[in-house]
Structure 1
C-alpha cells in the first residue's frame, strides 16, 4: 500500500504538531500494514529531523512542494503506469489559513483522489481512522487507541451529497443502515436529508421521527450550518459525496465546511468518496459487532 504524505508547515514545525500527533498514534499500525509513505520534501525532512519513523524503510522522499513534489503526488494518484508510481491515496494535513492549501496542486490532489475512489485524508482524526480501518480489513484486532473514533453513540454524523451523488448516498445508507443508525444523531442538508429520512422510514424507523436532522440546502447555507456544528464540537464525522465533474455555484460554502473540518483536525473525520465510505462502514461493522 502506497500513500502520499504532505503537511503544511504548521503541522510539522515541532514534535507536538499535527503530523507527529498522528505518527505517535499510528506508528505501530503503519508498520503492521507495511504502508509505504511517499512524503513531500519538507514533510520528509521534518520526520527525519525529529526522529520519527526510525528504521522505517518504506519512507520515501519527494521534491519540495515548490519543486513539484505535490504535483508528483497528484500524478501518482492518477497512476503513472507502474505499481511503483501509483499511489493508493493521499494524506495532506492542511492548515486552513495557509495559502498553499488552496494552490492548484492541493485542489487537484483531492479532486483526483475523489475521482479515482481513493482516500483523501486532511485531518489527524481521519488519518488515525484510516489506519484503523485498514488494520481491521487486514484481520488485525481492534486498537484500543482508536476507541474514541468509534464511540458512535456519542457522535453526530453528517451525510451530505451533491445532486449527481444523491443516488450513491442513498445506496450507501441503505447498505450500511445498521452502522449509521448507531450514531447518537445524524445531520444533513436539504433534499439529501429528506430522501434519507424517507429511506429510514421505509426501513422501519419510526414514522414522523427524523433519522436525519435537516438543515438548509447547500446553496442556501446548509454547509455553513453544519460547519458551525463541526467547529463547536457537535459533529465528529462527515461523509460528503462530492461530484468533482461539475462547477459548483456555492463553492465557497463547500470550502467553508472543508475548512471547518481541518480547523479541528484532531476531532473531525471526513470521507469524500463512496468507495472509501463503504470500506470504512464495513470495518466499523466488524468493530462494533454488527
Structure 2
C-alpha cells in the first residue's frame, strides 16, 4: 500500500507539531503494514531532521511543493500508466489559515481522492484512525492507544451527503445501521437527515424519536451549524459524501466544515467517499468483535 504524505509548515515547525504526533503514534503501524510513503520535500526534510522513521525504506522523498511535489502526488492518485506510480490515498495535514491549503494542487489532491474512492486524510485523527483500520484488515491485534476513536457510545457522527450522493448515503446507512446506531448521537443536514430518519423508522427505530438530529439544509447553513459542533468538540466523526463533479452555490459553507475539521486535527475524523467509509465500517465491526 502506498500513500502520499505532506504537511503544511505549521505541523512540523516545532517538536510538538501534528506531523510528529502522528508519526509517534503510527510509526509501529506504518512499519507493520510496510506502508510506502511518497513524501513532499519539506515534510520529508522535517521527518529526517526529527530522526523519525529512521532507516525505513518505504519512505521516498519528492520535490518541494513549489517545485511540483504536491502536483506529482495528484497525478499518482489518478495513476501513472505503465510506471507503477499509483497512490492508494493521501495524508495531507493542512493548516486552515495557510493560503497554500487552497492552492489548485491542494484542492485537486482531495478532489481526485474523492473521485477515485481513496482516503484523503487531512487530520491527525483521520490518519491515526485509518492506520488502525488497515491494521485490523491486515489481521493485526487492536492498538489499544486507538481505543478512543472507537468509543462510539460517547461520540457524535455527522452524516452528510450532497444531492447526487444521497442514494449512496442511504445505502451506506442501511448496510451499516447497527454500527451507526451505536453512536450516542447522529446529526445531519436537511433532506439527508429526513431521509435517514425515514430509513431508521422503517427498520423499527422508535417512531417518536429521530435517529438523526436534523440541522438546516446545506444552502441554509446546516454545514456551518455542524462545523460549530465540531469546533466545540461535540462531533467527533464526519461522514461526508461529496459530489466532486458539481459546482455548489454554498461552497463556502462546505469549506467551512472542512476547515473546522482540520482546526481540531487531533480529534476529528472525516471520511469523504462511500468506499472509504465502508472500509472503515467493516474494520470497526471486526475490531469490536476482537
Taking the aligned partners of 1:251 and 1:244, their CA distance within structure 2 comes to 11
Q: Give a deviation string over 1:111-137, Cα, whole Å, max 9, x none.
A: 000000000000000000000010000
Pairs within 5 Å for 1:195-274: 195-274=195-274
Look up the match of 1:9. Answer: 9
Separation in 1 of the partners of 2:82 and 2:69? 18
| Structure 2 unaligned residues grouped into runs of 5+ | none
Task: Count the aligned residue pairs.
Answer: 290
Q: CA deviation at 1:287?
A: 1.4
RMSD between superposed Cα atoms in Å: 0.9
Q: Which runs of 4+ in 1 moved over 3 A?
A: none
The match for 2:146 is 146
Q: Does 1:104 find its partner at 2:101?
A: no
Corresponding position of 1:129: 129
Shift of 1:15: 2.0
Farther-moved stretch of structure 1 (144-153 vs 75-84): 75-84
Q: Which position in structure 1 is the counterpart of 2:41?
A: 41
Cα shift readout 1:42-71 (whole Å, capped 9, x = no counterpart): 000000011010111110000000000000
Partner Cα distance (1:44, 1:61) in 2: 6
- Residues 15-164 of structure 1: matches in 2 within 5 Å? 15-82=15-82, 84-164=84-164
Query: Cα distance, 1:288 vs. partner?
Result: 1.7
Work out the CA distance in 1 between the residues paired with 2:166 and 2:125. Answer: 26
Structure 1 equivalent of residue 169 of structure 2: 169
- Structure 1 unpaired stretches of 5+: none
2-structure distance, mates of 1:135, 1:257: 29
- Equivalent position SS for 2:107: helix
Supply the distance in 1 between the matched residues of 2:223 and 2:110 (Cα, whole angstroms).
Answer: 18
Alpha-carbon shift at residue 167 of structure 1 (Å): 0.3
> CA–CA distance in 2 between the matches of 1:208 and 1:136?
37
Cα shift at 1:186: 0.3
- Displacement of 1:153 in angstroms is 0.4
| TM-score, normalised relative to structure 2 | 0.99
**3-state SS, counterpart of residue 201 of structure 1:** helix
Deviation, structure 1 residue 83: 6.2
In 1, distance between residues paired with 2:71 and 2:149?
Answer: 31
- Please give the alpha-carbon distance, in whole angstroms, between the structure 1 residues aligned to 2:289 and 2:159: 22
**C-alpha distance in 1, partners of 2:51/2:186?**
41
CA shift, 1:178, in A, is 0.7
DSSP-derived class of the 1:287 partner: helix
SS of the equivalent of 2:32 reads: helix
Q: Report deviation, 1:82.
A: 3.7
